[in-house]
Amino acid sequence: MSRVGRKPISIPAGVKVTIEESLITVEGPKGKLSRKLLLPLVKARIDDNQIFVERDADTKRHRSLHGLTRTLVANMVEGVTVGFQKTLEIHGVGYRAEVKEKVIVLQIGRSHPVNFDLLEGLEAEAKREGQVTTVGMRGIDKELVGQAAARFRALYPPDPYKGKGIRYRGETVRRKAGKAAAA
């Protein structure tokens, strides 16, 4: 049996979970999330203020979806209680970001400002810390926050020669020697 799938998910105070056929809905202080379960393969039930994810068979597909479904439901519960955040750093002289309503306006070395539209359910804030601008993205859906952060980073991935670009906080960029240093 899946080690991850066997763990029960405790429901914190102030969180309401409903399971109707193949739809699980989690509602908490930060918002509401819904997800459709792959019903014949895995099932979820609420018992004694905990959510249990179970599977019927022991095939490879059932085993793989057991742990995945449990993790997705646990992320929903965590998202509506605490939320998720990704922090990105913009490195480069003159590179900066500014949040205007649902758009992040970037100056990243191009001839024009680049606009990055935020998806529904996401919030962002930009701060300048010395030579580095940090952009924090927050939301209740872990997939949405991660996908938006990846799309944001893809606008200008870190350059291995000069170190300029957009990177996750804590990400290390392996620097390469240029042509002059290699000779």
Q: Is 178 exposed, middle or buried (0-12, 13-18, 19+ CB in 10 A)?
A: exposed
Same domain, 70 and 107: no
Q: Over the stretch 59-72, which tens digit does the pLDDT of each residue have?
A: 888 888 898 999 99
Q: Is the domain of 103 the same as that of 165?
A: yes
- pLDDT tens string for the chain (183 positions)? 568 888 999 999 999 999 998 899 999 999 999 999 887 788 899 999 999 999 888 888 888 889 899 999 999 999 999 999 999 999 999 899 999 989 999 999 889 999 999 999 999 999 998 889 999 999 999 999 999 999 999 999 999 999 899 999 999 989 998 887 555
Whole-number percent of the chain with pLDDT over 70: 97
User: Are 123 and 160 contained in the same domain?
Assistant: yes
**Residue at a domain's end among 81, 97, 130:** 81
- 89 & 156 share domain: yes
Cross-strand partners of 100: 103
Q: Are residues 9 and 58 in the same domain?
A: yes
DSSP one-letter code for 172? -
For residues 92 and 69, membership in a common domain is answered with no
pTM: 0.88
